[in-house]
Amino acid sequence: MKPKVVVVLGARPQFVKHAAVHQHLSSLTDEILVHTGQHYDAQMSDAFFQQLDLGEPKYDLGVGSGSHGVQTAAILRETESVLDNERPNMVLVYGDTNSTLAATLAAVKLRIPVAHVEAGVRNNDLSIPEEVNRVLTDRVSQFLFCPTQTAAEYLRVEGLADRAFVTGDVMLDIFLGSKTRALQAGAKLMSHLGLKEEGYLLVTLHRPSNVDDPDDLENVLKTLCKSGRTVVFPAHPRTSKVMRDTGLMTEFEDEPNLKLVEPLDYLSFIGLAYHSAGIVTDSGGVQKEAYFMGVPCTTIFDETPWPETLQGGWNVTTGQAPDKILQAIGRSRPNGLRGQAFGDGRAGVKVTQIIAQFLGKVT
């Protein structure tokens, strides 16, 4: 009988990350997918399961939105009953969401070992909810898979070096493997939206500190519209809700430079990003993807959990100050080399090998 691994996923970036491990792990183990329902609409969830060949989740916990406490508690309770039912040999979690922390707590209290992919990432700021999730998850997980040396160094300082493995970043694997299909999807979408090669900025915004206060969001969007570029903005559901509820949607709908679109599927997003003049984002994952593809990135946040991307000017953090944002967008294209900080695109294999060895399935 194959060893059983329960994989708990809840949000868009986790679907992308698991795709890199799933392609290796699923043949060696009995892989049981649990979808917590943190991201539930078709564009943020179903599209990713289909496009990334993740199969169907066996369990859909349907937890949905809620305050941090309500959401984390609901996922903890529901995951515990799944784990009681399945009795897996291991639980696998990704990143830093409430699903990550809740599933980890459920597992460790049942004495089931947890493997955490994207371990050791730090902002050094516990006021960021994701930072709390990362620190606590790392503290009690048995396998800590680090995307970079920087992450491994944080774990060493925290006394967790004996559980840490530098595997590289799983997002790089899936990015490299999807390049051809993404470029095709991007070209198709460009023609549909009437966009020219490097003639537009691609923007994503969803962090509470940028979008929950409509005044902040309005200022950022007004600043982007002043850039003189066409701005393509696939709005995250959190962001479009704020825009609809506060009249910002009506205000920006007729803005000639701004193309507001629904959240994109993975291949279309990566393809459109490739062909853009620059990316403006507050997403953790998108900053890395910009770096992988060599497109200049402007990050609307005061700091980044990915300091490697700042080297050579590929990424610049601006906060919300309009002059800083415009200056960063207008900077000339960096021409320095990008390093190998995120590994060699084989992180998924490395994670799988370590898990398989532990579970007695030597690869």
Structure tokens at 260: 């507001």
Q: How far is CA 119 from the centre of its chain?
A: 13
- Residue 304, interface with ligand UD1 (CB under 6 A)? no
Binding track, positions 231-260, relative to ligand UD1; x by CB under 6 A:
---x--------------------------
Q: Which amino acid is present at 309?
A: T
- What are the start-end ranges of the E strands in the chain? 4-9, 30-35, 59-60, 90-94, 114-117, 143-146, 164-166, 200-204, 230-234, 258-261, 278-281, 297-299, 315-317
Q: Which residues of 84-95 are buried (b: 16+ CB within 10 A; e: fewer)?
A: eebebbbbbbbb
258 closest CA partner among 205, 301, 200, 299: 200
Q: Verify binding: residue 284, ligand UD1, rule CB under 6 A.
A: yes
**Residue 269 binding ligand UD1, by CB under 6 A:** yes
One residue of 286, 329, 341, 351 binding ligand UD1 per CB under 6 A:
286
Stretch that binds ligand UD1, among 65-73, 108-116, 277-285, 314-322 (CB under 6 A): 277-285
Q: How many residues in the chain?
A: 363
Tokens of 12: 């868009």
Number of residues in contact with ligand UD1, rule: CB under 6 A? 22
Selected from 130, 138, 169, 173, the binder of ligand UD1 by CB under 6 A is: 130
* Residue 279 beta carbon to ligand UD1: minimum distance, rounded to whole angstroms: 10
Shortest reach from residue 205's CB to ligand UD1, in Å: 9
Near ligand UD1 by CB under 6 A: residue from 8, 16, 74, 76: 16
Query: Closer to ligand UD1 at the Cβ: 63 or 356?
Result: 63
Does the active-site annotation cover 206?
yes
Both tokens assigned to 255: 């803005």
Residue 137 interacts with ligand UD1 (CB under 6 A): yes or no: no
The C-alpha angle with vertex 82 and arms to 79 and 88, in degrees rounded to 5, equals: 105
Judged by CB under 6 A, which stretch of 92-100, 193-201, 247-255, 325-333 contacts ligand UD1?
A: 92-100
Is 270 a residue that touches ligand UD1 (CB under 6 A)? yes
Distances (CA, A) of 257 to 22, 216, 248, 252, 335: 40, 19, 15, 9, 28
> Which active-site residues does the annotation give?
206
- List residues binding ligand UD1 (CB under 6 A): 11-13, 16, 95-97, 130, 204, 206, 234, 263-264, 266, 269-270, 283-286, 289, 305
